[in-house]
């Protein structure tokens, strides 16, 4: 049963981790493209047709600017790789009357010295540019030609921001969240094989986050609760034990997967996030001790069993505290959309309230039982 559970959870989690992006379409506003690709951050997508005869590319770039007065940008970086400086950008925004697209030559000064980003001539010959907006989701259409012999594998860079100065069309800086800093990659337009590369680690981070929040941060606390609170009901014996074991084993198994992904992430983290990493290692060690402790637990009648109980409970509660601290630390590092953090806080509140109610019930049951056994004792005497 535990393995079926694990399978269901893993597939759900993987779907969740991947579902964060938009779903691209090759058919946009009556125009049909040969290929499309979800870009790995900011929910953007790219559709295109490579025209072999003219060696040119028709494209449609779609991204949600999130606020009506914001901007979305897409561009090729022909010289410097998939990074911001050097990008020959097309930027769409609402001017005082209509949605408009302008060209911006994004220089190193913009990133490194805060130079204003103003409309400027670009080296890529973009033609037939237009844009459409639906609510705040913008699509930029256009065409560009590849020079003879130029590889069709381009460096693309995209982003979005919340404001544009309508006097000189200066763009307000985009956010500095990881998703905004990592919105770049490559795409091979000739083969239709899109290697939106350069960013495998963002997906890895998201998957690591989802696995760990669900496994360590939700399943394990539920397992602890089932052990503490179900046990008082006669009908729930030994059900509570199976629930406890099922939750903890599933949580531990998935958690170890998420933990392993975290170890992988050290390769990409500069600098390494030691606090988050060391807490993660401590949690893994404590949780592994807990699993071993269950395997090696003394019999119920054994004299050392009460000591084992104290040990198992102390390490268990300590572990839960460390887990919650580290999940919030993870939120700080990953900076996912705030709804994810809110969702986790909501889960914690629900678990907390349920625990509080059950805790009170447990004490009531405990007092009643004690009184009853006192009464029985008296009656016997
Ligand atoms: C594109 O055109 C070149 C020469 O014009 C040809 O060699 C190549 O096979 C074509 N590629 C595709 C995918 O049609
Ligand atoms: C606003 O954008 C539209 C479409 O690009 C353009 O025709 C119009 O002149 C622009 N208006 C101003 C005030 O810039
Ligand atoms: C873009 O800016 C860079 C750096 O200032 C400059 O060297 C380049 O010529 C500019 N490109 C165009 C097309 O003006
Ligand atoms: C840009 O492309 C258009 C259409 O293909 C062409 O007419 C124009 O001459 C090109 N401009 C430059 C500077 O290459
Ligand atoms: C420009 O785009 C429009 C709309 O998709 C299309 O009908 C037209 O053929 C394009 N023109 C060129 C020169 O590519």
How many of the other CB atoms lie within 10 Å of CB of 146? 19
What angle separates helix 338-380 from helix 220-229, to the nearest 10 degrees? 20
Whether 19 has a pLDDT exceeding 50, the answer reads no
Nearest to 241, CA basis, from 218, 216, 221, 224 = 224
Q: Is the dihedral of CA 84, 127, 46, 173 positive or negative?
A: positive
183/202 Cα distance (integer angstroms):
10
CA–CA distance from 277 to each of 13, 112, 215, 326 (Å)? 22, 30, 17, 9
pLDDT attached to residue 338: 82
Whether 197 has a pLDDT exceeding 50, the answer reads no
CA–CA distance from 237 to each of 1, 226, 228, 233, 249 (Å)? 19, 11, 12, 7, 19
* Ligand 3, pocket residues at CB < 6 Å: 105, 107, 121-123
Q: Residue 72: what are its φ and ψ, rounded to 5°?
A: -125, 145
3-state SS of 291-356 is: HHHHHCCCCCCCCCHHHHHHHHHHHHHHHHHHHHHHHHHHHHHHCCCHHHHHHHHHHHHHHHHHHH
Residue with CA closest to ligand 5 atom 6: 128
Q: Are 327 and 213 within 8 A, CB to CB?
A: yes
Nearest to 35, CA basis, from 26, 22, 45 = 26
Q: In the structure, what pLDDT confidence band is assigned to residue 311 with cuts at 50, 70 and 90?
A: very high
Is pLDDT larger for residue 27 or for residue 338?
27
Nearest to 50, CA basis, from 157, 184, 156, 194 = 194
Whether 191 has a pLDDT exceeding 80, the answer reads no
232/358 Cα distance (integer angstroms):
10
Place of tokens 């997967």: 257
Q: Are 84 and 117 within 8 A, CB to CB?
A: no
Whether 78 has a pLDDT exceeding 60, the answer reads yes
Ligand 2 atom nearest residue 97's Cα: 1
pLDDT attached to residue 14: 52
Distance 36 CA to ligand 1 centre (A): 20
Question: What average pLDDT does this structure show over 265-288?
Answer: 87
User: CB of 125 closer than 6 A to ligand 4?
Assistant: yes
Distance between terminal CA atoms of the chain? 49
Type and span of the H or E element at 204: helix 200-214
User: CB of 54 closer than 6 A to ligand 4?
Assistant: no
Instruction: Out of 244-253, 273-282, 334-343, pick the least confident.
Output: 334-343
Strands 45-51 and 27-28: unpaired
pLDDT attached to residue 176: 77
User: CB of 27 closer than 6 A to ligand 4?
Assistant: no
78/175 Cα distance (integer angstroms):
24
Ligand 2 atom nearest residue 100's Cα: 5
- The closest ligand to the CA of 30 turns out to be 5
247/130 Cα distance (integer angstroms):
53
151/69 Cα distance (integer angstroms):
36
- DSSP-derived letter for residue 215 is I
313/368 Cα distance (integer angstroms):
24
3-state secondary structure at position 261: helix
Whether 373 has a pLDDT exceeding 60, the answer reads yes
Place of tokens 């925004």: 93
Whether 21 has a pLDDT exceeding 70, the answer reads no
Ligand 5 atom nearest residue 31's Cα: 5
Whether 59 has a pLDDT exceeding 70, the answer reads yes
pLDDT attached to residue 1: 47
pLDDT attached to residue 79: 87
Q: In the structure, what pLDDT confidence band is assigned to residue 198 with cuts at 50, 70 and 90?
A: very low
44-72 b/e (C-beta count within 10 Å ≥ 16 → b): bbbbbbbeeeeebbbbbbbbbbbeeebbb
> Residue 238, preceding bond cis, omega within 30 degrees?
yes
Distance 364 CA to ligand 3 centre (A): 76
Q: In the structure, what pLDDT confidence band is assigned to residue 147 with cuts at 50, 70 and 90?
A: confident
pTM above 0.75, yes or no: no
pLDDT attached to residue 255: 95
Ligand 2 atom nearest residue 101's Cα: 5
Choosing from 95, 130, 132, 168 the residue with most ligand 2 atoms within 8 A of its CB, the one to mutate for a pocket test is: 95
Instruction: Out of 153-157, 198-202, 221-225, 272-276, pick the least confident.
Output: 198-202
Q: Are 43 and 64 within 8 A, CB to CB?
A: yes
Distance 190 CA to ligand 1 centre (A): 9
């Amino acid at each position: 049963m535990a393995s079926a559970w694990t399978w269901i959870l893993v597939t759900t989690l993987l779907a969740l981790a991947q579902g964060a992006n938009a779903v691209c379409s090759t058919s946009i506003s009556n125009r049909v493209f040969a290929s499309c690709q979800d870009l790995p951050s900011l929910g953007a997508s790219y559709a295109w047709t490579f025209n072999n005869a003219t060696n040119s590319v028709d494209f449609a770039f779609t991204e949600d600017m999130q606020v009506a007065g914001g901007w979305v940008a897409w561009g090729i970086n022909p010289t410097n790789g998939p990074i911001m400086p050097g990008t020959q950008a097309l930027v769409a925004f609402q001017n005082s009357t209509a949605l408009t697209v302008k060209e911006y030559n994004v220089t190193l000064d913009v990133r490194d010295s805060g130079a204003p980003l103003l409309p400027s001539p670009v080296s890529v010959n973009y033609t037939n540019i237009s844009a459409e907006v639906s609510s705040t989701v913008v699509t930029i259409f256009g065409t560009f030609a590849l020079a003879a012999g130029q590889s069709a594998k381009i460096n693309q860079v995209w982003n979005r921001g919340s404001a544009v100065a309508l006097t000189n069309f200066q763009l307000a800086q985009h956010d500095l969240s990881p998703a905004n800093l990592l919105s770049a990659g490559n795409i091979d337009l000739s083969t239709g094989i899109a290697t939106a590369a350069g960013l495998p680690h963002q997906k890895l981070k998201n998957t690591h986050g989802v696995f760990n929040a669900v496994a360590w941060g939700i399943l394990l606390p539920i397992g602890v609760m089932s052990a503490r609170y179900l046990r008082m009901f006669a009908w729930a014996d030994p059900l509570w034990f199976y629930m406890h074991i099922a939750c903890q084993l599933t949580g531990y198994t998935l958690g170890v997967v998420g933990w392993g992904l975290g170890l992988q992430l050290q390769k990409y983290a500069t600098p390494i996030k030691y606090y988050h990493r060391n807490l993660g290692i401590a949690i893994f060690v404590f949780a592994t001790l807990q699993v071993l402790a269950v395997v090696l637990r003394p019999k119920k009648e054994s004299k050392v069993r009460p000591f084992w109980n104290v040990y198992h409970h102390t390490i268990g509660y300590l572990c839960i505290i460390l887990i919650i601290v580290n999940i919030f630390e993870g939120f700080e590092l990953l900076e996912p959309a705030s709804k994810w953090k809110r969702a986790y806080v909501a889960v914690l509140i629900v678990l907390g309230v349920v625990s509080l109610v059950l805790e009170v019930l447990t004490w009531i049951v405990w007092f009643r039982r004690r009184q009853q056994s006192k009464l029985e004792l008296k009656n016997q005497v």
